[in-house]
Amino acid sequence: MYVVDAVPWTQHYTIDALTLDCGRTLSPVQVAYETYGQLNAAKDNAILLLHALSGSAHAGFVNDKGEQGWWYDFIGPGKALDTERYFIVCSNVLGGCSGSTGPGSIDPATGRPYGLGFPVITVGDMVRAQKCLIDSLGIETLLAAIGGSIGGMQALQWAVDYPEIVRSAVILAAANRLSAQGIAFNEVGRQAIMADPCWQNGDYYDGTPPRTGLALARMIGHITYLSEESMHEKFGRALKGADGYRYKFSEDFEVESYLHYKGNRFVERFDANSYLYITKAMDYFDLPDLTSIQSKMLVISFSSDWLFPPARLKALVRTLRRKRKDVTYCDVQSSRGHDAFLLEVGPLTELLSGFLDNVCGR
């Protein structure tokens, strides 16, 4: 029906000025985004997709650099987010480092990167920036706001802040607040970055970035994204070399090697200061009052997720149920921990496509 772009590319929209929850105004603000599918004439088929901590605007298809989007399996013709029916928008979050304004961007006042001069941002600020983007695209209602982890927090914030715009919201592996455990892991990650001598109080853009600290933060984060069971299945006690223990403090086990690989690959594409700012926004996220929500809600937890355990999502759903919101809850059986929202393609596709069909039909 619609022509689908063979190669999606990241586009940019500039907001003149954005007032933030902390009281400061950021000007200008650039928002990097990608779109898939076509906005229909009635402009009622738009879906806003919201990425997690380390994601980017590149959610679907394979881009000009040959990279698959972070939700490649869910976006495309006939997939859960069917690009022949829906117009999908995904933008890099405010404070990020994949094209949107963040601590690594140039501060027009000084001509140098913001560094720690960048204001502390919130999930609400991220959503406000996305709202400017949506307005600029001529979208007046969102068929759905969908996100996992901090993306799910944003989807929930959308439903709270813009009830008249968001027809439905899908919250994957996220709740209306971050738990003490979540804050604790974020803080350890930040401390790892700030303890790296190269961090230089955030002013490292002319020199060497804090690679060791950021890689360590990523390694810690990665442990929380997996489950005990999935780590056992994936690595067990498998050794790297064939010769048994090396009796050195080098990599002995496959799991160590995997974490180092993940850490080192992460520093190639992510800015350490963005990590500080985005995790702080997660920590601050706390939405006790959900009264304003009018959207049809789908909340999905994953049985082995210990960063956002099913009990936390159930608590969110109970609050919504008590307020008689239209909320459906499913706990998907998965051994893949928090990352399941990226990996459980079968059950999620079934739930999402069924849900969106009905939102569409209403």
Partner 1 sequence: MQRFDQDIIVNLIPRGARVLDLGCGNGDLLTKLQRSGVSDIRGVEIDDRCIAACVRKGLTVFQGDIDEGLGDYDDASFDYIVLNQTLQVVHKPTLVIQEMLRVGNRAIVSFPNFGYFRIRWYILTKGQMPKVDFLPRDWYDTPNIHLSTISDFQAFCRTRNIAIERLIGLKSCATGKTAGHFQNLLSQVGIFVIMSEREIPN
Q: Among all residues, which ones are annotated catalytic?
A: 149, 305, 338
> Is 81 or 282 the residue whose CB approaches partner 1 more closely?
81
Nearest distance, CB of residue 298 and partner 1, angstroms: 7
Nearest to 61 by CA among 4, 2, 118: 4
Cα separations in angstroms, 255 against 44, 138, 209, 339: 46, 47, 26, 17
Chain-centroid distance, C-alpha 8:
19
**Number of amino acids touching partner 1 (CB under 8 A):** 26
Stretch that binds partner 1, among 22-30, 106-114, 218-226, 316-324 (CB under 8 A): 316-324
Nearest distance, CB of residue 211 and partner 1, angstroms: 42
Amino acid at 283: D
Stretch that binds partner 1, among 72-80, 143-151, 174-182, 314-322 (CB under 8 A): 314-322
Nearest distance, CB of residue 344 and partner 1, angstroms: 11
Nearest distance, CB of residue 204 and partner 1, angstroms: 47
> Is 241 or 354 the residue whose CB approaches partner 1 more closely?
354
Token duo for residue 65: 């650099």
State which of residues 298, 307, 340, 342 lies at the interface with partner 1 (CB under 8 A): 298
State which of residues 179, 240, 314, 345 lies at the interface with partner 1 (CB under 8 A): 314
> Is 28 or 354 the residue whose CB approaches partner 1 more closely?
354
End-to-end CA distance of the chain: 21
Q: Which residues fall within 8 angstroms of residue 353, CB to CB, at 6 or more apart?
A: 80, 82
CB 349 within 8 A of CB 80: yes
Binding mask 317-336 for partner 1 (x = CB under 8 A): xxx-xx-x-xxxxxxxx---
> Is 258 or 355 the residue whose CB approaches partner 1 more closely?
355
Binding mask 334-353 for partner 1 (x = CB under 8 A): -------------x--xx--
Q: Which residues fall within 8 angstroms of residue 34, CB to CB, at 6 or more apart?
A: 8, 9, 10, 11, 57, 58, 59, 60, 69, 89, 90, 91
Nearest distance, CB of residue 81 and partner 1, angstroms: 16
Q: Rule CB under 8 A: which of 277-296 touch partner 1?
A: 296
Site residues, partner 1 (CB under 8 A) = 296, 298, 314, 317-319, 321-322, 324, 326-333, 347, 350-351, 354-355, 357-358, 361-362
